[in-house]
Amino acid sequence: MAFDVPAVAYDRFMGRYANVLSAPFADFAGIRAGQRALDVGCGPGALTTELVSRLGADAVVAVDPSVSFVQAARERLPHVDIREGTAEDLPFQNDSVDVALAQLVVHFMSDPIRGLGEMRRVVRPGGVVAANVWDFVSERSPVSLFWHAAREINPDGHGASLLPGAHEGDLSELFTAAGLVDVTEVPLEVSMEHPDFEEWWVPYTGGVGPMGAYFALLTEKQQVALREQCRAMLPTGPFTLVSRAWAARGTVG
């Protein structure tokens, strides 16, 4: 997956949505003073920043497989322990945190059950594991319009609906399979205002994630066709997009 990109490219693309999702997700996970929290797949630090604002830098640790993201997160949050590593092999000891969170990460894990199992391993008994994933199936994600337009140009495109956790109930099943108990799943909705089409569109050309990889494989003619298809599907002036993520939390027995 194309995430070995400059942090600024991610910030302009998905980071803007991750920022507004972080607060309601932290609320759902039950983050409260006195806890120690782990951010799995922290990226440049959207959720990590939210956790630090609630718990303090000494009570937050984070991990991400992208070298550029880890570097950016360390620069932005110099007092947080941020390590390079994957969800499937977390570089933290057993029972070392009270809460482990994964924002917009489960669907990119090579083995989601193992990744969630690792999160369970590092959380103390009675603690919480929480994760969220965009609702791709119902086309309620920030990138759904892009994939819808792509299918108009190329009907064979599958978009992101087949990714793990993308359907209601998927996260709950993965949590249960990973050994978590008292699993709860809810939808979280966030809004993002875009001043114009170009501000919405340009980040898709930056090579970030599946969308960036898909765009890079298109011919110049196809890229123009996709851009204009997206333009036709959006208002010309300022517009607000409402997105939905499925969020699940479970308890470590």
- Kindly tell me if the per-residue pLDDT of 84 is higher than 90: yes
When pLDDT is averaged across residues 216-244 and rounded to a whole number, the result is 94
Instruction: Name 88's Cβ contacts closer than 8 Å, sequence gap at least 6.
Output: 109, 110, 111, 114, 115, 118
What is d(CA 66, CA 86) in angstroms, rounded to the nearest whole number? 9
pLDDT band at 92 (very low <50, low <70, confident <90, very high): very high
Copy the structure tokens of residue 111.
């083995």
What is d(CA 197, CA 52) in angstroms, rounded to the nearest whole number? 33
pLDDT in tens, 178-200: 999 999 999 999 999 999 999 99
Q: What is the pLDDT of residue 158?
A: 57
pLDDT in tens, 204-223: 998 888 888 899 999 999 99
Ramachandran category for residue 10: left, alpha or beta (phi over 0 → left; psi -120 to 50 → alpha): alpha
Is 44 in contact with 101 (CB distance < 8 Å)? no
Concatenating the DSSP letter of every residue in 8-29 gives HHHIIIIIHHHHHHHHHHHHHH
When pLDDT is averaged across residues 220-244 and rounded to a whole number, the result is 95
pTM of the model as a whole: 0.92
Nearest residue to 164 via CA among 210, 128, 113, 208: 113
Q: What is the pLDDT of residue 159?
A: 56
pLDDT in tens, 112-166: 999 999 999 999 999 999 999 999 888 899 999 999 999 988 876 555 555 676 7
Tell me which H or E stretch contains 115: helix 112-122
Query: What order do you get walking across the sheet with 239-251 strand by strand?
Result: 81-84, 60-64, 37-40, 97-103, 123-134, 239-251, 181-194
What is d(CA 198, CA 234) in angstroms, rounded to the nearest whole number? 11
Alpha carbon dihedral 8, 3, 210, 148, in 10-degree steps, equals -20
Q: What is the pLDDT of residue 157?
A: 58
Is 51 in contact with 39 (CB distance < 8 Å)? yes
Alpha carbon dihedral 175, 114, 25, 135, in 10-degree steps, equals -80
